[in-house]
A and B are shown apart, each in its own frame.
Chain A
Amino acid sequence: MSVGRRSSATERLSVLVAVLSVPAFTGMWELVARSGIVNTVLFPPPSTVAVAVLEWIRSGQFFADLMASLARVAAGFAIGAAGGIVLGILTGRFRLVSSLLSPLFHILRPIPPIAFVPIVILWFGLSETGKLFLVVWGVFFTVWLATHIGVQKVDRGLIRAAQMLGTPQPQMLSEIVLLGALPYITVGLRTAVSISFYTLVAAELAGAFAGIVYRIEIAQQNMQTGQVMGGLAALGLLSFVADRSFAILAERAVWWR
């Protein structure tokens, strides 16, 4: 049928366009940069960026930077998320705990984590603890709020059914409430993945000795714009991969939906 043929032709065309999109954009960038319209020192062509990235990898610094950044994000995310989930379950489930903590958390939560950089430097200097603190801070409140709301939205029927079956309180919290709130918690965790990368930027700009954002800053000071752009691309790719893998993981975690 002609309609079917046309739609499959359109589909093939859009796949082709999608595949060519990034190379075309990169090609145009290369042309513009080499045409002399712009200053190549400030706006280097992608070939220069690629050379800088290759050099970065070959020197072994890339791997060290990647590991330093990943370790900060992973540790900060793990601590912040664990704390957020535990406290979210407690404030979501127990009125008294909520009365105690929620007002405080609601005051602290809207302060952008980046604003804590000055005080963090005073408290922790340039140590890893300070960087961890910033990432944890950013992740914790997001996960806490998502968990707190999720716990309150847990199907009351499930909780009543579990109560009638004699479910003891620890199992009620760690199984029924946690899994019941999991759809909300995973949304919070996914948002927190992006936030952990935002706060990583602040943490490394505040002073570090390794890391992807640290490398970007050093390259900027040396006018190595190719390296700066390579660093940005690496950061973008890293947080993209983290977000996608988390999305897949989250879908499997709440498989019964």
Chain B
Amino acid sequence: MTPSLLRPDQPLRLVDTYPPSAAARQAIIRVEDLSIVFDAPSGQVIAVDRVSLAVAQGEFVSIVGPSGCGKSTLLNAMAGLERPFGGQVLMAGEAMRKPRPEIGMVFQQPHLFPWKSVRRNIAHGPRALGKPKAEALRIADGLIEMIGLTRFASAYPHTLSGGMQQRVAIARALANQPSVLLMDEPFGALDAQTRAVMQDNLLELRERINATIVFVTHDIDEAILLSDRVLIMSAGPGRILRDLQVSLPRPRTSAIVAEAAYLALKRDCLDLIRSEGRRAFEQMEIKT
């Protein structure tokens, strides 16, 4: 850590959810004191400020926060797409310096290869890892069936709806059988109805696959519905404010949003976010 990042007005916060709890001891993801700094015209901007967290094997963790709070940057660092300024990300004990095929990622936009059919998009990963063509296509066909797009196996991305494209993107990420699936607001660009269907699909999928999932969203309902744990992030600079356990029973469906336990949890989250929002806003007022 270079001195420039330390401000005298704030005490150095070493950890948020670290040192490890019982769950964290068998953590597959460990983010240790991670800072990410961007060069901006106005100077350096701290996007992620000394964040530490741990995600246990098989856990579904959401990261919630206002736009621009650095939650996507944090996720990109877990993916190996963003270089840490300080600290490190350990995936299964190994530092992430570049993307690794055992870490899958689904972006906000599907980013399907437009020149490839659904089947070949999904087969891309296994092929890239050197699997024979027949095997890659067999893996793709299995996943196509799972996402319910058998009829569209040879369709090209531009002929599919947004929701279908995102399902293909999820299947493509799963084709390499990743141990960790990172999802960056994957349903953020979809309309409300499609989003609800996709959330139920993901809950169902979750029961079938064995991956640890880290899910970034700004939608609190979505986060609580899907997750075992919700991490709430603050903006400017990005930090983790609170780590909330979601002990609602599984399997869940979107019907859960009417239950009392759910609502209590949501109220907690909203209070936290509201007070944080006010603080950030006032800070901005003082600056300007």
Contacts and interface: CB of A to CB of B under 8 A. Distances in A.
Interface of A: 155, 157-158, 160-168, 171, 176, 179, 256-257
B130 to A, nearest CB: 9
A160 B107 contact: yes
Contacts of B239: none
- Which applies to chain B's interface (DSSP): helix, strand, loop or mixed? loop
Given A165-B172, A176-B113, A256 B124 contact: no
Contacts of B124: 162, 165, 167
B125 to A, nearest CB: 4
Interface string B215-238: 000000000000000000000000
A164 B102 CA distance: 9
A164 B103 contact: yes
B79 interface: yes
Nearest to A163: B99
Contacts of A162: 113, 124, 128
A176 B115 CA distance: 10
B54 to A, nearest CB: 22
B107 A161 contact: yes
Contacts of B104: 164
B19 interface: no
B173 interface: yes
B99 A164 contact: yes
Nearest to B103: A164
A163 B113 contact: no
A155 B157 CA distance: 15
A166 B79 CA distance: 12
18 contacts: A157-B109, A157-B111, A160-B99, A160-B105, A161-B111, A161-B169, A162-B124, A162-B128, A164-B79, A164-B103, A164-B104, A165-B101, A165-B124, A166-B100, A168-B128, A256-B114, A256-B115, A256-B157
Nearest to A156: B111
Interface in B171-228: 172-173, 175-176
Q: Which 9 A-B pairs have the closest CB atoms?
A: A166-B101, A165-B125, A157-B111, A161-B111, A256-B114, A164-B105, A167-B128, A163-B99, A166-B128
B134 interface: no
Contacts of B99: 160, 163-164, 166
A165 B100 CA distance: 8
Residue among B79, B103, B115, B125 with max Cβ neighbours from chain A (10 Å): B115
Contacts of B100: 166
Contacts of B101: 164-166
A73 B128 CA distance: 38
Contacts of B173: 164-165
A160 B99 CA distance: 9
A158 B104 CA distance: 14
Contacts of A168: 128
Contacts of B156: 256
Contacts of A163: 81, 98-99
Given A162-B113, A164-B99, A164-B101, 6 more contacts: A164-B79, A166-B129, A168-B128, A256-B115, A256-B158, A257-B114
Contacts of A160: 81, 99, 105, 107, 111
Contact of B128 (A157, A171, A257): A171
A164 B98 CA distance: 9
Nearest to B122: A165
Contacts of B169: 161
Contacts of A164: 79, 81, 99, 101, 103-105, 173
Residue among B109, B124, B175 with max Cβ neighbours from chain A (10 Å): B124
A91 to B, nearest CB: 22
A222 B99 CA distance: 70
Interface in B113-127: 113-115, 124-125
Contacts of B107: 157, 160-161
A165 B176 contact: yes
A157 B107 CA distance: 8
A158 B113 contact: yes
Nearest to B125: A165
Nearest to B157: A256
Residue among A160, A161, A162, A168 with max Cβ neighbours from chain B (10 Å): A161
Contacts of A167: 124, 128
B105 A161 contact: yes
Given A165-B101, A256-B158, A158 B111 contact: yes
B128 A165 contact: yes
A179 B101 CA distance: 22
